[in-house]
Amino acid sequence: MKKRLIALITILTMAMGLIACQKNETEQEKITFVLDWTPNTNHTGLYVALAKGYFEEVGIEVEVVQPPEDGAEVLVASGRAQFGISFQDSMAPALVGENALPITAVAAVIQHNTSGIISRKGEGMDTPKGMEGKTYATWNGPIELATLEQVVKKNDGDFKKVNLSPSTVTDEVSALKSKSVDAIWIFYAWAGVKTELEGLETDYFAFADMDPVFDYYTPVVIAGNQYLEKHPDTAKAFLKALSKGYEYAMEKPEEAAAILCEANPELDKELVKESQKYLADKYQADAKQWGYIDPTRWNNFYNWLNEKELVETNIPDDTGYSNDYLPK
């Protein structure tokens, strides 16, 4: 009887251990990821990692949500989302001052700044000086206007001669074709590729080509500081899976484009495919790995903001980013 009891206890103990192991294997750490905008090719690696099960492999369940009106940064800082998409320039005001947000950029989505000014071809705006006497669609952002002023002046132009028209352009092709504006700030991987597909001939100059200080990081993956402090291993696991997603997008752009479109069927499939091909060698570019943030370039841009007094309080070097959570 005693032997049977011992045997029964042993079996029950083993069974409970097995159940516990199975539970640990099936339990997933839940993470909310907030986008900066509607889904596009900046986000492809995220959707690839979801579709290919890369997050599941590291024990993470990811929910993707749209940004609130006050932006992804606020949602991440509050802890309602653990990760999200932001931009180095839009992060700047959130990093210092009385209302600073506890957020950190933990990965660069695209290694170099692909934004610049697009205009109708042959109208002289292939250089910044050519914007003199032309109408530029502005959202009246202090960093935006200071950037434009610097590149125009550096190109021996007079920024005061640029006509600034407050405008929120949602369709760059229509705006340029209708001549409601002459020049628009775009990210070439999406809006620029769209003009090509729609047969609109354009001129374009990239800010990074005009002045290296504007080769800042846009977009980036951000995380909440408190989350990083409490869950560093989960953060590393998340970025390991996300890295695999972007590496897949680099190696197989057309397959990655199909995955993005399958998850978001409202997207223009041809635009996504061509945009994905454009970005394939730009996600990592010349960096040692996807996601790496170069300290010199990061600091150079924020030092420029400090010099131009575009932030409430000077941003110290090495503020707001970390490479510590990327795969080693």
* Per-residue pLDDT at 300: 98
pTM of this prediction?
0.91
Residues 244, 275 within the same domain = yes
pLDDT digits (tens, 9 = 90+) for 33-84: 999 999 999 999 999 999 999 999 999 999 999 999 888 999 999 999 999 9
Residues 199, 240 within the same domain = no
> Per the domain annotation, does 199 fall within a domain?
yes
* Per-residue pLDDT at 1: 42
Residues 95, 170 within the same domain = no
Residues 91, 225 within the same domain = yes
> Per the domain annotation, does 149 fall within a domain?
yes
Q: Which domain holds residue 200?
A: 115-214
Domain stop point among 183, 214, 245: 214
Q: 33 with 70: CB under 8 angstroms?
A: no
Q: Is 25 exposed, middle or buried (CB count within 10 Å of its CB: 0-12, 13-18, 19+)?
A: exposed
> Per the domain annotation, does 222 fall within a domain?
yes
* Per-residue pLDDT at 167: 85
Residues 187, 133 within the same domain = yes
Instruction: State the CATH number of the domain containing residue 132.
Output: 3.40.190.10
CA 277-279-281 angle, 5° bins: 95
Residues 44, 92 within the same domain = yes
Q: Which stretches of the chain score pLDDT less than 50? A: 1-26
* Per-residue pLDDT at 3: 42
> Per the domain annotation, does 271 fall within a domain?
yes
Domain stop point among 164, 189, 214: 214
**The total number of structural domains that make up the chain:** 2
d(CA 156, CA 21): 69
Residues 228, 179 within the same domain = no
